[in-house]
């Protein structure tokens, strides 16, 4: 059975008893979370979130990009978030390569240059969190009283550890 077939079966079970269709769009906890797409991370589980509690924005490495800032600005301006958590994690794949290594791989595999792409790998986990927090704080479109904090999720223990700023 394909993954899509399994997903559709799971969705049918979920929808059969779905009772949360009246949730409002603004997150009840007024929080936005920026984190990695790594399949080992389930922010709802490790933060105790329910549907409607928070915006969760995910990408490779949990990096703050122009698109993440776009989502955070919308989250704040139209949906009232006033707290942002940046959560990176141990054993992240973004620690294992450089931009140039990936660009070379893409050139070899596809025969097309990828020189304009910034994939945003990093070599220092804590510093990557600090860098992303700084990008958020520098944006003139983030509400000034927003609390921005940084964290590292340990994939071996499930613990969330603060990053000093």
Give the Cα separation of 93 and 52 in Å (integer). 29
Please indicate, yes or no, if residue 5 is contained in any of the structural domains. no
CATH code for position 67: 3.40.1050.10
Please indicate, yes or no, if residue 35 is contained in any of the structural domains. yes
Task: pLDDT tens for the chain, 165 residues: list them.
Answer: 899 999 999 999 999 999 999 999 999 999 999 999 999 999 999 999 999 999 999 999 999 999 999 999 999 999 999 999 999 999 999 999 999 999 999 999 999 999 999 999 999 999 999 999 999 999 999 999 999 999 999 999 999 999 998
Domain that holds residue 91: 23-162
Residue whose C-alpha is closest to residue 152's, from 164, 139, 138, 136 = 164
Task: Let me know: does 4 contact 28? Beta carbons within 8 Å.
Answer: no
């Amino acid at each position: 059975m394909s993954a899509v077939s399994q997903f559709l079966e799971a969705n049918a079970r979920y929808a059969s008893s779905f009772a949360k269709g009246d949730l409002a769009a603004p997150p009840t906890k007024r929080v936005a979370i920026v984190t990695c797409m790594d399949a080992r991370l389930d922010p709802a589980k490790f933060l105790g979130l329910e549907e409607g509690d928070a915006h969760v924005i995910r990408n490779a490495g949990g990096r703050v990009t122009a698109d993440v800032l776009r989502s955070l600005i919308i989250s704040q301006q139209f949906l009232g978030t006033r707290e942002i958590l940046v959560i990176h994690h141990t054993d992240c794949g973004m620690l294992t390569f450089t931009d140039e290594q990936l660009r070379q791989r893409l050139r070899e595999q596809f025969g097309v240059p990828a020189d304009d792409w910034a994939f945003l790998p990093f070599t220092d986990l804590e510093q990557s969190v600090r860098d992303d927090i700084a990008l958020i704080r520098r944006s003139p479109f983030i509400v000034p009283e927003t609390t921005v904090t940084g964290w590292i999720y340990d994939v071996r223990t499930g613990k969330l550890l603060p990053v000093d700023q």
